Chain A
Amino acid sequence: MIEAIPQLLVNALALGSTYALAALGFVLVINAVGAVNFAHGELVMLGGFVAVGLAATLPETAVLPGLIVLPGVMLALAAVGLVLALIGYAPLRRAPPVSVFISTIAIGLIIQHAVTAGIGPEPRVGPPLIGTGSVELFGAVIARQQLATIAVAGLLLVAVHALLKHTRFGRRLRAAAQDPVMARAIGIPVVLTTAASFAMAGALAGAAGLMLSNQYFVAPTDGAVLMLKAYVATVIGGWGRVWGAALGAFAIAAFETVVAASVSYLVAEVLLYVGVLALLMLRPRGLFGEAEGRRA
């Protein structure tokens, strides 16, 4: 078993990377509107199916098919995110947050059933980011696809970090998230920043969906599980903490992999949720604290 540790760690890191992308988008919406987008898991799933569809238009000889379609998938899901904001949030922005919960649950179900009806219930395999094959690393055989997933997800996480921290747009986004009334008072277009948050969340969900669809396939009913992972990652990392959620996602993947490889999946699942309960009791604001006023 010891010789398998590098491989298990790389798998956990790759899975954690995709969970982190999903969790990041989830938190962006929480911060923007103060409510949970329960359709986020379905956006990840939809990203996988869009990737499958776009890859089908490429010639069979195309190299790096996943990388080629990645911008298209992110753009398409950014558009879906905007539509979600338009019909799932905008009409309810003055209603209590529970209304947004319900509307996003409804939209998630509509997306799931539309994919089932329009594309079919079969699981599909998405395009690989790079070609298949493996490399030897520390005596373990590691799939090149896993390494590519880690690299691409890492680049996207860094890009989002740079966007939020070091650009005027990012500062406006954060200002509007922290205090929309004050942001509006100083001339920040809060409606636009909210829409941008939904679009970014959609784009990140699309990227996560593409990467998951190749390694772990994609089926119309996958959304609920992905949503749960993003939610738990957010609770672990601190409600509304962008990087806390990403780190929470890595923690979930690493914990699940290590415990499942050492004991069993059932023990891993039970311990994970016992751990989350313990965390809520001991550090109710998560490992990195809660962004002020974000909990809906």
Chain B
Amino acid sequence: MSRLFHTLVAALVVMVTAMAARAAEPVSIPVLVPITGFLALEGTAQRNGAVLALDTPPAGVSVTYEVSDTATSPEVAVTALRRALDRFDPVAIAAPIFGTQMLAMAPIANRAGVPLITVSGTAKITELGHDVVFRFFPTDAVVKVAQARYAVRELGVKRPAILYQTTAYGQSGHGHLVRTLAELGIAPVLEEAIDPGIKDLLPALERARAAGADGLLLQLHSGPTALAVRQAHGLGLGLPIVAGSAMHQPSTAALLDPAALKGVCAETASAPIADARPAVKAFAVAFEARFGTKPDAFALGQYDGVRMVLAAVAGGARTAGAVRDWLAANRYEGLAMSYVSDGTGNMAHDAIIVCYDGNSRVPRIVKRYDAVDGIR
């Protein structure tokens, strides 16, 4: 009896020691994002958000990570993914904002069963039937609805002109804007597709004026958004502008005189520099201290996503499969919003509208649209 008791105790000690050792063993969460090329601005925000989260894991969680640049091609992203899967046995991967890269990476990650944590807006990445893609940024089905509703219902716009980029980002947003406007009984008076390389937006603004537009809806990248706002101001157009999420980025506002921003609004998932909640303020301060730049919604979305993975690990999910199941089944109170999967990996369902008062480059949150897609 005594011998059996000692054997059981010894076995228990071994088991507990092994479990403790495994719990203390660091988990790997590689960061694969575009930090060069045309999405470097957004990719760098992603990288910084992920790194800030990984540098401050919850108590009891040890984590290792390596940042790899996925640049602008799917091939580079797939190579980085294969390398990360081979070398690190990751529990999750912070994955690119670039939808084309995500579409190439998702099947490979799906076969490996490793969750991809992203802020990519490309709708299709969560529509392919893979259960490893988790998106911590609202899709166009959320933010474009907020943008159109705010313009029509709050600003009284009845004859909007839509200026959108010819890229996938621009066309996706344009489609959702037109659909939502139609639901609101509004027909745009101008829909103008603009290549990102176009330097002068005056022709489009003049055509909007000639078409009798009473408001501008922008779905442009950062530089073109700032250019449209500045040229509209210089032209004395006097129309309300509700821009896409590029406008909320501090680097976009930095291109403009505060006076040119008067009356300009934008949709976004969050606005860390405008949010007065203490936890978000603390995040914004820590982010700026660490990276020397102000955070945007992409940074905060990626931060929240990685924090949710770390919460899963702290909750006992020590393998990629366990983390995937945890993310799919649990709600997480992030800094930007409350995240929960809609069953396909879309975790973010809220949007906000921010507006500038013409005196500062820091916007004010003027309207919140919660559970726009019906997911609570």
Contacts and interface: CB of A to CB of B under 8 A. Distances in A.
Interface of A: 1, 4, 7-8, 11-12, 15, 112-113, 116-117, 120-125, 132, 134, 141, 143, 212, 215-217, 219-221, 224-225, 228, 256-257, 260-261, 264-266, 269
A217 B227 contact: yes
B68 interface: no
B206 interface: yes
A103 B194 CA distance: 32
A228 B255 CA distance: 25
Contacts of B257: 132
Contacts of A257: 200, 202-203
B200 A216 contact: yes
Contacts, number: 99
B203 A122 contact: no
Interface in B187-228: 192-195, 197-200, 202-204, 206-207, 209-210, 222-223, 226-227
29 contacts: A1-B206, A1-B210, A4-B206, A4-B209, A4-B210, A7-B202, A11-B200, A11-B202, A12-B200, A15-B200, A116-B35, A116-B36, A121-B40, A123-B251, A123-B255, A125-B254, A141-B234, A141-B236, A217-B226, A219-B41, A219-B222, A220-B40, A221-B38, A221-B40, A225-B197, A257-B203, A265-B192, A265-B195, A266-B166
B8 interface: no
B204 A143 contact: no
A50 to B, nearest CB: 18
B319 interface: no
Interface in B162-200: 166, 192-195, 197-200
Interface residues of B, number: 37
Given A217-B226, A217-B255, A257-B200, A116 B40 contact: yes
Contact of B223 (A120, A219, A228): A219
Contacts of B252: 123
A38 B197 CA distance: 17
A51 to B, nearest CB: 14
Contacts of A120: 44, 293
Interface string B26-66: 00000000011110110110000000000000000000000
Interface string B1-43: 0000000000000000000000000000000000111101101
A124 B223 CA distance: 9
A8 B206 contact: yes
Contact of B235 (A141, A220, A221, A264): A141
Contacts of A143: 234
A257 B198 CA distance: 10
Contacts of B202: 4, 7-8, 11, 257, 261
Nearest to A112: B36
Contacts of B35: 116, 121
Given A216-B223, A217-B255, A265-B193, 14 more contacts: A1-B207, A11-B200, A11-B202, A116-B36, A123-B252, A124-B255, A216-B199, A219-B223, A228-B197, A257-B202, A264-B192, A265-B192, A265-B203, A269-B195
